[in-house]
Amino acid sequence: MNKYLFPVYAIVIGVIIAFLTKNKKSVYTKLLLSFSGAFLLALTLFDLLPEVYHHLETKQTGLFIMCGILLQIILEFFSKGAEHGHVHIHKQDSQFPWLLFLSLCIHSFLEGFPIHQHNDMVYGVLIHKIPIAALLTSFLLQSKYTKGQAISFMLVFAAMTPIGTLISNTTAINANFLMSINALVIGIFLHISTTILFETGEGHKFNLSKLVAISLGVFIAYFI
């Protein structure tokens, strides 16, 4: 059960990082984001993808993966890309960001389904959530939302992944249906991780430190 709480620990670590960096965008945060994207992508390919293809028909698996990619695109229409580090701050806006909140909760809830006691996807989710939590916390601290709203946002966000894991592991869900959800989540993970890795915000310049962070993420994921 302690393993299922790793995503919650990731949120706590992310919040601490946000306070330590005092809302400043750091190159280390970007490198951690690159590392997390590579790590999540590698674990998805090494662990989750073979498991799903083993249980479902090949073309059906591909269809659900594509649906996951499309679902994440729809969620990002409302979250503006917060799942992969793009949190847009409107300092004058005091209205609670319900669309951002709901889209992140749906994303967080679904990513809890592939986590089982016997697999390593929990580590991918853990590493993925740390920089996202740090950026979200910085966003909330710089906004005009009340402390109660900010705390509630992060508490519910932290709880959604363990809830998804709990439901997938304790309820009598048909195995094929569960694998279909996992295939959907693969699509979500593929979209998020590749977006992190191949974003063009740096003008396609060669970045050695980013390359090292990505390589390290793949290397560690392979040997877990």
Tokens of 33: 């984001």
Q: Please provide residue 86's backbone torsions phi and psi, each rounded to the nearest 5 degrees.
A: -100, 95
Longest alpha-carbon distance in the chain: 51
Compute φ and ψ for 158, nearest 5 degrees.
-65, -30
The pLDDT of residue 45:
94
Q: Model pTM?
A: 0.87
Confidence (pLDDT) at 200: 45
Separation CA 45–CA 125 (nearest Å): 14
Q: What is the pLDDT of residue 218?
A: 93
Q: pLDDT below 70 — which residues of the chain?
A: 1-2, 22-27, 81-94, 117-118, 199-206
